[in-house]
Structure 1
Amino acid sequence: MPRLGNKGNGFADVEFGLFEDGIVFDHLSGKTHYFYREENRIEKAKDLLRDSAGNDRVSFGKPRSNVSQEDFCERVEEAKNYIGSGDVFQVVLSKRYKIPFKGSLLQFYRALRRINPSPYMYYLKFGDREIVGSSPEMLARKIGRSAESFPIAGTRPFTGDSARNKALAAELLQDEKERAEHVMLVDLSRNDLGRVCEYGTVKVPEFMRVQGYSHVQHIVSRVTGQLRKNATSFDLFRAVFPAGTVSGAPKVRAMEIIDELEPTARGPYAGAVGYFSANGSADFAITIRTLCAQDGYCYLQSGAGIVADSVPDREWIESERKTATLFTAMDQAQEEDS
């Protein structure tokens, strides 16, 4: 797909590192491991750790959205017009908050780990660019010849009341719109894996269960398959990226509509964070529930899947719920510094 509009976001399209050694902290065992390929630099690594200990204070300014609720709802209606015309079945529209900040985002990461532990937690620093997130959603994973993805679609609040949570989960599973949207995205994931997997091996071992997180609960499924003999981890990534759950269906037309309707380029949001290993394995999360920072500003972004019977105000509320965890982590990170 050719590059679309040049809206600019300051982030590279792709950024990887080739690491000859590293320090791994195992949260289950509480042990720290050092690995290297050729040169053992353990003493230098210890020095780096000592030098990194310092002031982790952080403060955040007033958030500013790149779109008002009224404008967002108008764009939902425009997306529904495209759906009604047969261009797409679904398109995911997002909005972004821009927030000035000062200090270290490590304190924010610590708060995020505590209040929203997720399958994928990450703090990445590339020079003056930082990406901090707690993503619940796998884009794709490869171990040996096995591949899998973990589509998430369908949202309700997750509260401190277990009875209320059960009622909301039951309501979610009975919502025809949410069910139809989820089934469509599971089918899209099956199709993506089918492009690189052996015929007949793509399965859905987990289908439409509700998973709770700190502020929201989602319908989730798991799609698996066995890769063809000549398929690599790079082939798998190319087949599934970007995820249909953050773009829409069909993907290419949905991305064209997103480029038309969203006022700013997404940058890292809705992309992927993960790794390709030298042993052929790979594991990537979708970059959601994530803060991206550069030049004294951080950015939070969230979206909602628009379908034919979407209610614009409800889609706005859903997108707001998805950033609630990040704003809570900001507040806690600042309180710990005071």
Structure 2
Amino acid sequence: MASLTLQDVGVQYGDVAAVRGMSLDVEEGEFVTLLGPSGCGKTTILRAIAGLEPCTGGQIRIGGELVAGPGVHVPPEKRGVNMVFQTYAVWPHMSVFGNVAFGLKIRRRPRSEIRAKVKDALELVGLAAFSDRYATQLSGGQQQRVALARAIVTEPRLLLFDEPLSNLDAGLREQMRVELRELHSRIGKTAIYVTHDQSEAMVMSDRVVLMNGGDIEQVGTPRELYEGPRTRFAAEFLGIPNLWPARVVAGDGTGAPAVAELGSDGVAGCRVAIDRVKGVEPGTRGIVAVRAERVEVCRDRPGGSGVNVWDGTVEVAAYLGGRVESRIRSSDDLVLRAETKPSLELVAGDPVFVVIPPDAFVWIPTPPS
């Protein structure tokens, strides 16, 4: 049985559909991230799961129990879910112990049980030594750990996270990603996590649900989404900078290498050899996408077959510490974006050669009109 089931769920604000017929099954113990830009509906659906927003259509089941549907709205406190917010929401007038114990106290649990469970939760998040401190005496990262301990101490069926790391500085955010993933592995609870940060989603998730316009754009493991976006939106949001309209001009549709002509955006006539185009017949139009790190840049003409090789000029080279992001214009006016090592020492105006291996291309079909 799925831990969480969304069936054709809709959430409407007046004339605005914030969530449009969303369906999803989340298995017991999974860590699933809802990823997408601001306004795509990811926080709205999280709040609907928690019971903080009413559904205007469809059904939500938690552990098989119907908690939202036609004529049904189980209140948040009876759904067996806990939520960790972006703003931590720890109470400054309470100690760390008091914050974490709050949910157990309102459930009227015995004092001995409260002490034992709070102790265990604080040990899990690394705050056992801070039990008597007040929230105002803690750093941002420590306050977030308090919020995590408070969420897990009541042993909910489902943990919900609404961009909980977005207020932390970059270094602490990276550290907390790892800690949160490790915590999830130890407690084994089903978790739904909301973020707009694709790096966060890739590091932490068993599966990623990419959302766009109130519905699901694509679902898959981090690797599946990273290596195989199925739409232009997915490719762009997941950080693929090289996207060209194209038409297959040679190939048998079996997945063997094919030839595509890059089309309508000013590079007509430029042909490339591409792999991974199974089921695509000659004449089919779509988009070819290539990640910047798959674009190989060298100063001397490479040997070999000469397939997918261009000569060009560096227009921009931006140093970013461990890598250089470059924009290169080929002699036939194809603009390519590449990531290179700083040791290549590229600067604007340098003549270079560019190679794209055939297996670096991702074929994205054009949606039917």
TM range (shorter): under 0.3
Higher helix share: 1
**Higher Cα radius of gyration:** 2
> Which structure exhibits the higher relative contact order, with contacts defined as CA atoms closer than 8 Å and separated by 6 or more residues?
1
